[in-house]
């Protein structure tokens, strides 16, 4: 996923399904300089992590 699409998903009023390693996630913010995103699993909001944008999959 590229930074522009990740930001569009964040800004969207609709729920857009995205996963990381097969786990449904929420994108909290895009870290553009590092080409990363801060995410957390939908069922574990306390498990934030920074991951490469290219590993995110939109469904």
Sheet containing 56-58, strands listed edge to edge, beginning at the edge strand earlier in sequence: 49-52, 36-41, 23-31, 18-20, 56-58
**Mean per-residue pLDDT, 31-46:** 96
Beta pairing partners, 59: none
Domain residues for the domain of 27 are: 3-58
The predicted pLDDT at position 52 comes to: 98
The predicted pLDDT at position 43 comes to: 97
The predicted pLDDT at position 45 comes to: 96
Number of independent structural domains in the chain: 1
Size (the chain), residues: 59
pTM to 2 decimals? 0.93
């Amino acid at each position: 996923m590229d930074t522009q699409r990740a930001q569009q998903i964040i800004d969207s009023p609709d729920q857009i399904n995205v996963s990381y390693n097969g786990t449904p996630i929420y994108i909290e913010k895009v870290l553009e300089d590092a080409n990363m995103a801060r995410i957390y699993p939908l069922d574990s909001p306390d498990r934030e992590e920074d991951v490469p944008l290219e590993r995110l999959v939109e469904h």
